[in-house]
């Protein structure tokens, strides 16, 4: 099947060809016709499958088809909501590429940067808006955004959106748009809460599923090291010295962990950068750009900061901390071995993470290959270290947290 068969017209075909896309990917083949038919759709697909174009191209096509209609001035006709800023920026870049030979205008708004320049662009009028939930609602409250003309609403990475606590924001945004809009929900996985959200806001949706969410690529060699927690940094240095070469992402669960490992690797002469939720947007974007350009070959990240980001040519993933949600393992290692290349994933498991490994192996229906020959083996009888609280009494306090203390609370991702 070609893009032409999917009823994509010349200006878009030209841009897509220049971007090097020969044929549509599977998710595009299945999704584009449904979107053009104005159906609500739930798509379960991960980054790397071409899902952005699966919604961007038919949205642009529909807008082009309508361009002969009397001009009302530019109003937001498509709204794409993304949980993270990096992903929002990436989606806008894709739209801009596909829009090259049209006069459709796109912009992206997200938090962590000055709001005024975003207001100025919005006031000039745009057709397509890509936004993170918080900033979108902020701008709406300030009356800079009018969602009365939205014909298509896209919720991208819906599972992550809910994990990050955006459920109320998403519902609010949905209500701010017109009732008869088309809604498209994209999610790497469809857990109950996503299904529930879909049931409340989508209208008789069609479903597209492109890959088994629990499957990991056959081209990824997956290795497992059992190691005491205190020796993980030494093990990491050991494998970087002796085993892994090339472009590597190291996943840690918390931003504190990311910072600590980054310092150690820098001290040891590695070219490293990092991303997590506490860094400013520009710093995060700079880090990503440096990694993509090859100025650094190691990127340390939390799951939330790295989710959805399209990074090609990754040689290996290190799971420095194992994820407590097994699907996260699949997302992480799905970043390597793209486009038929082979890749490798190395997981470090300490005594307290053995249960995580069990669930991961159950999900992927595969036993990871255990590397026993390394300098920091874990005593098989080692018990998890449990940090006991010295506080007495019930851990469930009766009092509610004050507003000030809630404000002080830092994000962990």
Residue with tokens 């000039």: 124
Q: Which is nearer to ligand AMP, 28 or 118 (CB)?
A: 28
Closest distance to ligand AMP from the beta carbon of 187 (Å)? 13
Identify the residue among 6, 12, 15, 21 touching ligand AMP (CB under 6 A): 21
Asked if 83 interacts with ligand AMP (CB under 6 A), we say no
The whole-angstrom separation of Cα 44 and Cα 41 is 10
Q: Which is nearer to ligand AMP, 51 or 332 (CB)?
A: 51
Identify the residue among 29, 41, 43, 50 touching ligand AMP (CB under 6 A): 50
Asked if 348 interacts with ligand AMP (CB under 6 A), we say no
Q: Which residues share a beta bridge with 155?
A: 81, 185
Closest distance to ligand AMP from the beta carbon of 16 (Å)? 7
**Which range of residues in 42-50, 165-173, 184-192, 377-385 is near ligand AMP by CB under 6 A?**
42-50
Asked if 310 interacts with ligand AMP (CB under 6 A), we say yes
Q: Which is nearer to ligand AMP, 23 or 365 (CB)?
A: 23
Closest distance to ligand AMP from the beta carbon of 284 (Å)? 17
Q: Which residues share a beta bridge with 128?
A: 78, 106
Identify the residue among 31, 44, 52, 84 touching ligand AMP (CB under 6 A): 52
Closest distance to ligand AMP from the beta carbon of 38 (Å)? 22
Q: Which is nearer to ligand AMP, 47 or 213 (CB)?
A: 47
The whole-angstrom separation of Cα 115 and Cα 120 is 9
Binding mask 255-274 for ligand AMP (x = CB under 6 A): --------------------
Residue (of 327, 325, 330, 358) closest to 345 by Cα position = 330
Identify the residue among 33, 48, 111, 134 touching ligand AMP (CB under 6 A): 48
Element (H, E) at 14: helix 10-18
**Which range of residues in 43-51, 109-117, 249-257, 319-327 is near ligand AMP by CB under 6 A?**
43-51
Asked if 31 interacts with ligand AMP (CB under 6 A), we say no
Asked if 302 interacts with ligand AMP (CB under 6 A), we say no
Identify the residue among 51, 255, 276, 331 touching ligand AMP (CB under 6 A): 51
Q: Which is nearer to ligand AMP, 50 or 323 (CB)?
A: 50
The whole-angstrom separation of Cα 350 and Cα 367 is 17
Query: What angle separates helix 26-36 from helix 51-65, to the nearest 10 degrees?
Result: 30
Identify the residue among 42, 53, 185, 300 touching ligand AMP (CB under 6 A): 53
**What are the C-alpha distances in Å from 53 to residues 15, 45, 153, 300?**
12, 12, 15, 28
The whole-angstrom separation of Cα 207 and Cα 42 is 5
Residue 47 structure tokens = 């980054």
Identify the residue among 31, 44, 49, 152 touching ligand AMP (CB under 6 A): 49
Q: How many residues bind ligand AMP (CB under 6 A)?
A: 12
DSSP string, 303-343: HHHHTT-------EEEESS--SSHHHHHHHHTTSSGGG--E
Closest distance to ligand AMP from the beta carbon of 49 (Å)? 5
Closest distance to ligand AMP from the beta carbon of 188 (Å)? 10
The whole-angstrom separation of Cα 167 and Cα 185 is 13
Residue 27 structure tokens = 């998710």
Closest distance to ligand AMP from the beta carbon of 209 (Å)? 15
Q: Where are the beta strands (DSSP E) in 193-282?
A: 206-209, 220-226, 248-251, 272-275
Polymer length of the chain: 413
The whole-angstrom separation of Cα 287 and Cα 299 is 8
Q: Which is nearer to ligand AMP, 26 or 176 (CB)?
A: 26
Asked if 134 interacts with ligand AMP (CB under 6 A), we say no
Binding mask 145-184 for ligand AMP (x = CB under 6 A): ----------------------------------------
Q: Kindly tell me the sign of the dihedral angle through the C-alpha atoms of 318, 26, 63, 16.
A: positive
Asked if 25 interacts with ligand AMP (CB under 6 A), we say yes
3-state secondary structure 285-304: HHHHHHHHHCCCCEEEECHH
Identify the residue among 24, 133, 257, 343 touching ligand AMP (CB under 6 A): 24
Contact 286, 314 (CB under 8 A): no
The whole-angstrom separation of Cα 391 and Cα 178 is 52
Which residues are near ligand AMP by CB under 6 A?
21, 24-25, 28, 47-53, 310
């Amino acid at each position: 099947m070609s893009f032409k068969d999917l009823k994509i017209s010349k200006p878009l075909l030209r841009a897509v060809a220049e971007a090097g896309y020969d044929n549509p990917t599977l998710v595009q083949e299945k999704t584009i016709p449904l979107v053009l038919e104005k159906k609500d759709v739930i798509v379960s697909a991960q980054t790397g499958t071409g899902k952005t174009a699966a919604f961007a191209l038919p949205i642009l096509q529909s807008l082009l088809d309508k361009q002969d209609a009397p001009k009302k001035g530019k109003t937001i006709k498509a709204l794409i909501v993304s949980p993270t800023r990096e992903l929002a920026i990436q989606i806008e870049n894709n739209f801009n590429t596909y829009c090259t030979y049209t006069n459709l205008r796109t912009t992206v708004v997200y938090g962590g940067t000055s709001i005024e320049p975003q207001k100025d662009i919005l006031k000039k009028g745009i057709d397509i808006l890509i936004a993170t939930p918080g900033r979108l609602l902020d701008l709406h409250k300030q009356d800079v955004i009018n969602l009365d003309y939205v014909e298509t609403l896209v919720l991208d990475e819906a599972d992550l959106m809910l994990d990050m606590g955006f459920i109320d924001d998403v519902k609010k945004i949905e209500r701010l748009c017109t009732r008869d809009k088309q809604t498209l929900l994209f999610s790497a996985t469809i857990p109950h809460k996503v299904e529930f959200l879909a049931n409340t806001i989508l209208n008789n949706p069609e479903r597209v599923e492109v890959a088994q969410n629990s499957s990991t690529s056959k081209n990824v060699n997956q290795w497992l090291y059992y190691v005491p927690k205190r020796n993980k940094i030494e093990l990491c240095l050991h494998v970087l010295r002796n085993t892994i070469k090339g472009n590597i992402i190291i996943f840690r669960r918390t931003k504190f962990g990311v910072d600590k490992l980054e310092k150690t690797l820098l001290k040891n002469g590695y070219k490293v950068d990092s991303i997590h939720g506490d860094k400013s947007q520009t710093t995060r974007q700079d880090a990503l750009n440096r990694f993509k350009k090859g100025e650094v070959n190691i990127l340390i990240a939390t799951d939330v900061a790295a989710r959805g980001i399209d990074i090609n040519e990754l040689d290996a993933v290190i799971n420095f901390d194992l994820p407590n949600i097994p699907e996260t393992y699949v997302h992480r290692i799905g970043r390597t071995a793209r486009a038929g290349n082979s890749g490798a994933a190395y997981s470090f498991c300490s005594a307290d993470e053995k249960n995580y490994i069990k669930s991961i192996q159950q999900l992927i229906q595969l036993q990871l290959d255990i590397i026993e020959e390394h300098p920091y083996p874990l005593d098989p009888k080692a018990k998890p270290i449990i940090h006991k609280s010295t506080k007495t009494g019930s851990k469930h306090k009766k009092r509610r947290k004050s507003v000030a203390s809630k404000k002080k609370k830092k994000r962990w991702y």
